[in-house]
Structure 1
Amino acid sequence: MTDNPALVDDAFAADLLRGHTDTIVLGVLRRGDRYGFEIYKTIRDATGGRHEIKEATLYAAYRRLQKDGLAEAYWGDESQGGRRKYYRITDAGRAVYARNVAAWAATRDIIDALLDLRAARPSTEEGPRA
C-alpha cells in the first residue's frame, strides 16, 4: 500500500484483498492481455484509487499464475522504452477464476447473513436458507 489516505487502510480489509490477488489479476486478464504495470493501473483505477497492490506483490502473483498454468507470458513488440512482457489468461485460469468468484459470492452471502446484512441486499434466491 502507499501513503495515499484514500487507499484501504483497514488491516482486515487489506488482508481480505491480499488473499484474492491472484483472482483479481485473473479478472483483469479476462478482459484482455495486459503488461505488468498496466494490470497495476487497472486495479488501482477500478477502485477509484482506494486500493493498490504493490508491484512486488503483483509480480510474485504473475510468477505464481504462470507456474500454476493459469496465465502465460510473452514479449510484446518494442515500444517506447523497450519491450514489455504481457500476460494472458489460460483456459485453466478462466476455470479457476470462475470457481474463485463463485466461492467468494457464497462466502459473502454467509458473512452477510451472519452480520445480519442480508436485509440490505436483495436476495438472488427464493426459499429458505439452510
Structure 2
Amino acid sequence: MAQEISKDMIRGLTGAIVLSVLEFEDSYGYQISKQIKQITDDRYELNEATLYTVFRRLSAQGFVKSYYGNDDENQGGRRKYYSLTESGKKELNRSRTDWEFSKEIVDALLQEKKNG
C-alpha cells in the first residue's frame, strides 16, 4: 500500500501551500490542484472543496485577490484567477519560517533516542 500524508497533519499548511503555488504566477483552482499533484509526484491532492475553502479564507485575510480571466479556449464560464498580494507574500515568508521551526521541534520530539 502506498504511503499517504495524513489530512490532519497537513490541514494547517494548506493556505501556505496555495500561497506557494501562487508565488510566481496567477492561477485558477483546477490548475493549482494539478500543480500540487505534479509537484508531489501524485502523492498529495488538494480536493476541490478544501481548495475553495482555502481561497475564501486567504481572500478574507487579504493574502490573495481574485479576478475573472478572458479565457478564449475555455468553453465553460470564465475562470476565476487568484493572485498573491503583498500581504500574501509576507504571510508566505512567515509560514516558511514557522514551518522550519516546527520541523526542528517535531524532529527533536520524534527521535528514537531521548537525551536525559
TM-score if structure 1 supplies the norm length? Answer: 0.78
Counterpart selection for 2:13 from 12, 20, 38: 20
Structure 1, unaligned runs of 5 or more: 118-130
> Which residue identity lines up with residue 28 of structure 1 in the other structure?
V
TM-score (norm. length: structure 2): 0.87
Aligned match for 1:75, one of 52, 68, 73: 68
Distance in 2 between residues matched to 1:45 and 1:58, nearest whole Å: 16
> Which structure ranks higher in relative contact order (CA pairs < 8 Å, sequence separation ≥ 6)?
2
Amino acid in structure 2 at the alignment position of 1:62: F
The equivalences for 1:1-130 within 5 A come to: 6=2, 8=4, 13-79=6-72, 80-81=74-75, 82-116=77-111
More strand by share: 1
Moved over 3 A (4+): none
What's the CA shift for 1:116? Answer: 2.5
Aligned residues: 110
Supply the RMSD in Å over aligned alpha carbons. 1.7
Cα shift at 1:99 = 0.6
Structure 2 residue ranges without an equivalent (≥5) = none
